[in-house]
Amino acid sequence: MKKILIKTNLQQLSGLNYHRLLVPYTKVSDLVEFKCDVYNEPHNMSDEQLQGFDAIVYQREIDIQGRSPELIKRYQSLGLKVIFDIDDYWILPATHWLHRAYKEHKISEQTIEILKLVDLVTCTTEHLANEVRKYNKNVEVLPNCLDTNEEQWKQNKVESNKVRFGYVAGVHHVEDVRLMTAGIKKAMFKLDCQSVLGGYTDNLHYKYYESVLSCNGIGKQHYKRIDAMPVSEYGKAYNYIDVSLIPLASSVFTPFKSEIKMLEAGAHRNAVIVQNALPYNTLPKNVGHWINDESDWYKAIKRMINEPGYRQDKADALEYYTRTNYDLNKWTETRKQILRLVLD
């Protein structure tokens, strides 16, 4: 049985580590062929402890003190294969909230050095994989997937007499939300609908999202806030939404993101109004209503409200595509095959 060390912090589990490490490697850990153990600080483990493992998996966690290359070399010298999972581009635009930290700690340079050293890189999309291959030819695409048996991805739609369009996201999407401002304001005043914000926490970013979706409080009688939930539950917010809004502001960074927002909506049979840009526009055209310009948002919301058949067709197509192509249970065997190749 092969033993795999997963580097993540269960006490401060991010959505990223939940989707890319904890849930998928829990599926892999069948206790017959593979056993996966989670450690927060493997660098503090003794050589003897580390030699009890065949591989170590990291997810985009860079040591800001610049020790990552020496740690990788240490693990490899002890016989471990080092697998580096990455889901975002390592070059950030000046507007990104982490740009200053990346520049100060030379995170982009560190990431490239890590890519060159590790035994295998796994990433979310073919577009990102093509960029990784400039530094390491051993790349495998493992898309973001959802465990459709997980409670938060089961459909338990809360009924409403209004069509509800909603936005579910983490912090730092102000530029994305800004694209929808005029369209949402017009929709809230002219159409019989409700807006929903999922994942709310009390910070400036969510207050801005709320100001857009509630029209600065003027439309609050047609607005619903859903507070943030743990990473194992946040998907339940989609049960209060009929049409998911997925804006994306263009930058050097955004084409390398994944399509996970569409998958989350699809699992709950939500229709989506989505930016016609990478990474989303790699999906079939029939699974969403595509936005090319800021002026399109109001027209798209209006059509989704006024044409229930159109809305349902889009929702059904996205649900089918999501469950057919992005079910984690179907991808577990692929992940095992990749591990077999790197560990042989």
Separation of alpha carbons 202 and 46, rounded Å? 41
Q: Which residue intervals of the chain bear CATH 3.40.50.2000?
A: 2-145+328-343, 151-325
Give pLDDT, residue 11.
77
CB-based burial label for 341 (10 Å; 0-12, 13-18, 19+): exposed
Mind listing the pLDDT tens digit for each residue in 216-270?
Answer: 888 778 999 999 999 999 999 999 999 999 999 999 999 999 999 999 999 999 9
Mind listing the pLDDT tens digit for each residue in 274-290?
Answer: 999 999 999 999 999 99
Mind listing the pLDDT tens digit for each residue in 184-206?
Answer: 999 999 999 999 999 999 999 99
At the topology level of CATH, where does 151-325 sit? Rossmann fold (3.40.50)
Mean pLDDT of 114-134: 97
**CA 160, 162, 165, 166 torsion-angle sign:** negative
Q: In Å, how far are 107, 120, 255 from 277, measured between CA atoms?
A: 26, 28, 7
Mind listing the pLDDT tens digit for each residue in 52-72?
Answer: 999 999 987 666 677 888 999
Q: Residues of the chain with pLDDT > 90: what percent?
A: 83
At the topology level of CATH, where does 2-145+328-343 sit? Rossmann fold (3.40.50)
Separation of alpha carbons 270 and 322, rounded Å? 11
Give pLDDT, residue 100.
87
Separation of alpha carbons 65 and 159, rounded Å? 51
- What letter represents residue 201's amino acid? T
Contact 43, 69 (CB under 8 A): no
Mean per-residue pLDDT of the chain: 94
Give pLDDT, residue 203.
92
CA 262 to chain centre: 10
Mean pLDDT of 110-116: 94
Give pLDDT, residue 16.
85
Mind listing the pLDDT tens digit for each residue in 35-57?
Answer: 999 998 898 999 999 999 999 99
